Chain A
Amino acid sequence: MVYVVIIFLWTAILLYILLGGADFGAGIIELFTSRANRPRMRKKMYEAIGPIWEANHMWLIIVIVILFVGFPKIYTTVSIYLHIPLVCMLLGIIARGTAFVFRNYDAVKDHMQKIYTPIFVISSVVTPFFLGVIAASAVSGQIDLHAQDFVSAYVFSWLSWFSASVGIFTVTICAYLATVFIIGEAENEQDRQLFTRKARRTIFIVMAAGGLVFLAAHSEGIPLLRWIFSDVPGIIALILATISLVITFVLLLRNKPIILRLLAGFQVTMILFAATYSHFPDIILLKGGDNLSLLTHQGQVKTMETLGYALLIGSIFIIPALVYLIYSFQQKRGSKEAH
């Protein structure tokens, strides 16, 4: 049953990056859109993410619940040593979740929008940045359980070039997902070209940020290259991601929005797979070489069983409803355009 739980954990993380990421990306690309195009972009984004907006950050809650029920030692270690970046991410989540609703549901559209919008846009960058920082800090061996002073226990557990570069990489991935996603929402040729240009530019930025991660890892002595290239599945995942990126680049010139979305999702899945495969079942690498593993630090048998069943039963309700939600809004939009 522990493997069922781990699959749910991994899938929830993936879906948070994919769906939540596209949603963060919406705020990020708003930041990098010219003032003239911004209202159009914002309207498209709102229409696209509005219906699934509330469901998106549920993936994060599922991740948290799985961790504290099934792997409490891992949850508490992260909570104690990564307290500061977690608080930063939380502030981002609060600011973003509320600013989005405020700006769309305020009865009067006036100068208050000038307050909501920057909060929304800035927190759209801050949240995935710290998400990346937290993920990187967990695997980079910075957490020191024997640290004696505040700075080495609670600051250097996450403050490093490597963590920062992964944070930036996460932000660019979110932007990339959003730019690819929105191409399919374009209703006219002019919009489509605008969004396509944006997507192509973002691909280069993602690749640059990815390079930055390797540089930072190298400078801090983190064997990132060995992690990824020592396993065959890791190498295959990376090759597939690269091939599909090339295909994406070619297809951007043609009008194939659905395939583009699938390819972008596939690339991110492969990156997450390559990043997690080499460590599995370890999830937190500690300073001094110790690791926290999903298998040795799991809860008692009965806990894991009930958690597994709760997740399975939950998904029976959630998945069809969510699929129907996304499908019906895509469908209705399609038929609206046809008329």
Chain B
Amino acid sequence: MDDFLAARLQMAFSLGFHIVFSCIGMVMPFFMCTAHYLWLKRKKAVYLDVTRAWSKGVAIFFATGAVSGTVLSFELGLLWPKFMEHAGPIFGMPFSLEGTAFFIEAIALGFYLYGWNRFHPWFHWFTGVIVGISGLLSGILVVAANAWMNSPSGFDLINGQYLNIDPMKAMFNEAWFSQALHMCVAAFVSTGFAVAGVHALMILKGQNVNFHRKAFQIAAIFGTVAACLQPISGDISAKDVAQRQPAKLAAMEAHFQTEKGAGLIIGGIPDTAAKTVKYAIKIPKALSFMATGDFNAEVKGLDQIPQKDQPPVAVVHYAFQIMVGLGMAMLGLAVIYFIALFKKKNWAESKWMLKLFVIATPMGFLALEAGWTVTEVGRQPWIIYGVMRTADAVTPMPGIAYSFYLFTAVYISLAIIVSLLLFRQITMVDKLYDSSTDKKIQ
């Protein structure tokens, strides 16, 4: 394995791992605070049980997300020093602010986890809310930094020198809003469906049904509402990408020829040599409409982009199809769930509904990883879009393959241990948390 590929794979693995843990760490506090709020308002012991059980999950995910984030802040330099030397001073602003947000989150989590019965109940609850808000803020800020790589701004490149740096302008680059919105909603969708799915499984198994039902409802509502909002944010993202990164859009859609009134390609196998897509469903003029809002507008194809500036079409196309497909599946489930909530009460209690949620457990995270692949692989061969190539940014140190093997082993073992820990948390609900009643506590 050559060093460049190893560095890319290590970065991909680190981010792919971090993204799951940080999303859960960012969204779970909101579930936890909702349960906590219901406990404070309704005084039903089961809500307290759910809150306490989830707070353990938050602690585990926060810690794992935090260490993997620390690793990433070093890896940026360890793997891409040439990139950081120029980009650091430009896109560092969101990182500096993210440091603050993350710090506050860590402090608030200290208050929350260790503050039971030590503070006023509403102050204690409030610290939990702060954990959620600052977590969300740090997520937005990190994505804003990534957005700069897709939409570099806030500097002038003059004779190879990065001059007239304006960190605020770099932070509020053109891509920051659409990317941050899409990512935050995705975090709610994926965490909501994953958590709801796990609790649905436990209800089906007939264990601590009351506890798991309450937990399921909270997570499912967060997840399904977010799933309904995601297409809107997806549309904003598509229009934005079409405008700024036509090469990425063309790869997403395997859109080889520039044309007016371009059709939307669904599925299929792209053949880069023949510049066609086999076995695809094509909706006439839909791509033009999605990208610009006009059915007859011209959409730039890969033919207008020099070969050396094209991203790997197949990977980006498949990833995009997976993301959209899974998103649609979750949207469908969300609609059924809302019908159940408002019209057909007996659906909500039924086994098939719970089974659908169990099936949907991994969907959000698969969609998340696929979406992230679209963003990152779709930007290639650039590390700073149109400015610096990824190949020019890699560290001169040889032997990165070993580092890649090492970190992969670490991440895999961490994933196994965390899964084991969660499994044990869930199986211990009986002994640790469930007071199994709806009784009120004065």
Give Cα A68 to B324, complex, Å. Answer: 36
Give Cα A302 to B169, complex, Å. Answer: 11
B71 touches A100 (CB 8 A): no
A61 touches B56 (CB 8 A): no
- Assess whether B85 is interfacial by the CB under 8 Å rule: yes
A54 touches B106 (CB 8 A): yes
The minimal Cβ–Cβ distance linking B175 to chain A, given in whole angstroms, is: 20
A101 touches B63 (CB 8 A): yes
- Assess whether B67 is interfacial by the CB under 8 Å rule: yes
- Assess whether B207 is interfacial by the CB under 8 Å rule: no
Of residues 301 through 326 on chain A, the ones whose CB sits less than 8 Å from some CB of chain B are 302-303, 306-307, 310-311, 313-314, 317-318, 321-322, 325
B59 touches A105 (CB 8 A): yes
The minimal Cβ–Cβ distance linking B349 to chain A, given in whole angstroms, is: 29
A314 touches B99 (CB 8 A): yes
B76 touches A105 (CB 8 A): no
Of B86-94, B253-261, B286-294, B310-318, the segment with at least 4 beta carbons within 8 Å of chain A is B86-94
Of A75-83, A213-221, A279-287, the segment with at least 4 beta carbons within 8 Å of chain B is A75-83
Main secondary structure of the interface of A (DSSP, over half): helix
B71 touches A90 (CB 8 A): yes
Q: Contact string, B13-47, partner A, CB cutoff 8 A, digits 1/0? A: 00000000000000000000000000000000000
- With contact pairs A69-B89, A310-B96 given, residues A106 and B421 touching in the complex (Cβ less than 8 Å): yes
Residues of B within 8 A of A154 (CB): 397
The minimal Cβ–Cβ distance linking A115 to chain B, given in whole angstroms, is: 9
Q: A69-B88, A314-B97 are in contact. List 12 more A-B contacts (CB 8 A).
A: A58-B103, A65-B99, A68-B88, A76-B84, A87-B403, A93-B70, A98-B64, A105-B59, A107-B56, A150-B399, A310-B96, A328-B119
- Assess whether B336 is interfacial by the CB under 8 Å rule: no
- Assess whether A292 is interfacial by the CB under 8 Å rule: no
- Assess whether A53 is interfacial by the CB under 8 Å rule: yes
A-binding residues in B (CB < 8 A): 56, 59-60, 62-64, 66-71, 73-74, 76-78, 81-82, 84-86, 88-90, 92-93, 95-97, 99-100, 102-104, 106-111, 113-114, 118-119, 163, 165-168, 395-399, 403, 406, 410, 414, 417, 420-421, 424-425, 427-428, 432
A307 touches B92 (CB 8 A): yes
B96 touches A69 (CB 8 A): yes
B74 touches A52 (CB 8 A): no
The minimal Cβ–Cβ distance linking B109 to chain A, given in whole angstroms, is: 5
- With contact pairs A54-B63, A72-B84 given, residues A325 and B107 touching in the complex (Cβ less than 8 Å): yes
Of residues 70 through 115 on chain A, the ones whose CB sits less than 8 Å from some CB of chain B are 70, 72-73, 75-76, 78-80, 83, 86-87, 90-91, 93-94, 97-98, 100-102, 105-108, 112
Interface centre among A64, A66, A68, A83 (most CB of B within 10 A): A68
In the complex, 6 of the A-B residue pairs with CB atoms within 8 angstroms, ordered by the A residue number, are A54-B109, A70-B92, A75-B84, A317-B100, A318-B107, A325-B110
A107 touches B96 (CB 8 A): no
Residues of B within 8 A of A299 (CB): 88-89, 165
B59 touches A55 (CB 8 A): no
Partner of A83, one of B78, B111, B414: B78
B100 touches A97 (CB 8 A): no
A69 touches B92 (CB 8 A): yes
A98 touches B107 (CB 8 A): no
A94 touches B82 (CB 8 A): no
Partner of A107, one of B84, B106, B107, B425: B425
Residues of A within 8 A of B399 (CB): 150
Interface centre among B106, B113, B417, B428 (most CB of A within 10 A): B106
B110 touches A302 (CB 8 A): no
- Assess whether A204 is interfacial by the CB under 8 Å rule: no
Q: Which residue of A lies closest to B107 (CB)?
A: A321
A307 touches B74 (CB 8 A): no
The minimal Cβ–Cβ distance linking A326 to chain B, given in whole angstroms, is: 9
- With contact pairs A51-B114, A54-B106 given, residues A78 and B77 touching in the complex (Cβ less than 8 Å): yes
Partner of B68, one of A66, A83, A94: A94
Residues of A within 8 A of B70 (CB): 57, 60-61, 90, 93, 97
Q: Which residue of B lies closest to A320 (CB)?
A: B107
Q: Contact string, A182-204, partner B, CB cutoff 8 A, digits 1/0? A: 00000000000000000000000
The minimal Cβ–Cβ distance linking B20 to chain A, given in whole angstroms, is: 14
- With contact pairs A72-B86, A75-B84, A311-B96 given, residues A303 and B73 touching in the complex (Cβ less than 8 Å): no
Residues of B within 8 A of A332 (CB): 118
Give Cα A57 to B107, complex, Å. Answer: 12
Partner of A108, one of B90, B93, B428: B428
- Assess whether A62 is interfacial by the CB under 8 Å rule: yes
The minimal Cβ–Cβ distance linking A44 to chain B, given in whole angstroms, is: 15
Partner of A93, one of B71, B406, B424, B428: B71
- Assess whether A329 is interfacial by the CB under 8 Å rule: yes
Partner of B66, one of A87, A97, A314: A97
Interface centre among B99, B104, B420 (most CB of A within 10 A): B99
Give Cα A94 to B415, complex, Å. Answer: 12
The minimal Cβ–Cβ distance linking A136 to chain B, given in whole angstroms, is: 18
Give Cα A79 to B110, complex, Å. Answer: 32
The minimal Cβ–Cβ distance linking B71 to chain A, given in whole angstroms, is: 5
- Assess whether A50 is interfacial by the CB under 8 Å rule: yes
The minimal Cβ–Cβ distance linking B217 to chain A, given in whole angstroms, is: 23
The minimal Cβ–Cβ distance linking A144 to chain B, given in whole angstroms, is: 13
The minimal Cβ–Cβ distance linking A152 to chain B, given in whole angstroms, is: 13
Give Cα A100 to B59, complex, Å. Answer: 11
Q: Which residue of B lies closest to A304 (CB)?
A: B89
B165 touches A314 (CB 8 A): no
A94 touches B410 (CB 8 A): yes
The minimal Cβ–Cβ distance linking A330 to chain B, given in whole angstroms, is: 12
The minimal Cβ–Cβ distance linking A312 to chain B, given in whole angstroms, is: 10
Give Cα A66 to B397, complex, Å. Answer: 24
- With contact pairs A61-B70, A107-B424, A310-B96 given, residues A75 and B88 touching in the complex (Cβ less than 8 Å): yes
Give Cα A112 to B417, complex, Å. Answer: 10
- Assess whether A296 is interfacial by the CB under 8 Å rule: no
Residues of A within 8 A of B86 (CB): 72
- Assess whether A300 is interfacial by the CB under 8 Å rule: yes
A90 touches B74 (CB 8 A): yes
B81 touches A306 (CB 8 A): no
Partner of B100, one of A57, A66, A314: A314
Residues of A within 8 A of B403 (CB): 83, 87
A79 touches B74 (CB 8 A): yes
Residues of B within 8 A of A303 (CB): 89-90, 92, 165, 167
Residues of B within 8 A of A314 (CB): 96-97, 99-100, 103
A306 touches B103 (CB 8 A): no
Of residues 18 through 58 on chain A, the ones whose CB sits less than 8 Å from some CB of chain B are 50-55, 57-58
Residues of B within 8 A of A97 (CB): 63-64, 66-67, 70
The minimal Cβ–Cβ distance linking A338 to chain B, given in whole angstroms, is: 15
A51 touches B110 (CB 8 A): yes
